Chains A and B, each alone.
Chain A
């Protein structure tokens, strides 16, 4: 089949669309959940409305991070000047795969961070005196949940800038092209789908911890210890996905 840069453009446009649309579905739900819980908490505790407003905005900013990662990758796909025809079919699949990686990859972390932020607002509504402790724990929990979206961002950037050019393999057969291209697609799918579960799981841990800080503030050290341990174990599957993605990117001939 004849190759032209149009095919690279098509793949980049598809990837950009997928990445932003998937991420904004999740961002909308996550950020909206925080606002919902914050509104309800203000209704219950009108005196604490200033702390609530601050926590809501900070929580929403941390939750929106996943959406911003996707936007950055989409803008790079559209305007990053990645349409060099030397890239060939390798570049076509790499660009599409980068969009899949960050698009699916931000769904779970954003849901998780949104749940953690919502539970923090609810918790401050119950115990406004402890708002600083709860907000600190919310930020730690959201950072833990967003770790896996950062894995996805790293893989997406590697797919954009560090994949081989097809022109560097002059004698490559059709089978060789398909093998390398599908390996690049697999790398994006692995980290993209693989971060959904850990993101949601860690967000659930952080959300329950925030909720319990508002009910039993004296147990803060115990709650935080359990949260860290549980979140670290949940993160392990995201790390397996990262390993498989890196192997597919760099260890496959």
Chain B
């Protein structure tokens, strides 16, 4: 029974990281796409736009990192 639980944890780790990477990937891409647009339209604000883009992407990344942490816990701590 313990080994079945271990097997389910490993499958769960794969599903967790797989689906968990969907949202951050799409979201960060949208942030960067709009940043390209903003920098092209008003280049004088490029540092401000770049800063906002990086902060926004870092926040979007957090859920990806949560998935990574949970996946690593499922692999090594169960």
Contacts and interface: CB of A to CB of B under 8 A. Distances in A.
Interface of A: 104, 108, 112, 173, 175-176, 178-179, 181-183, 185-205, 207-209, 211-213, 215-216, 219, 222-223, 226-227, 229-231, 233-234, 236-238, 240-241, 243-245, 247-248, 251-252
Interface residues of B, number: 51
Interface in B32-57: 32-37, 39-41, 43, 46, 49-50, 53-54, 57
A236 B23 CA distance: 12
Contacts of B34: 208
Nearest to A217: B40
Given A190-B18, A204-B29, A244-B14, 4 more contacts: A193-B22, A197-B29, A236-B61, A245-B14
A197 B43 contact: no
Given A212-B37, A233-B61, A247-B75, A226 B32 contact: yes
User: Interface majority SS on A: helix, strand, loop or mixed?
Assistant: helix
B19 A193 contact: yes
Given A179-B3, A244-B68, A230 B15 contact: no
A180 to B, nearest CB: 8
A244 B71 contact: yes
Given A190-B18, A229-B50, A205 B32 contact: yes
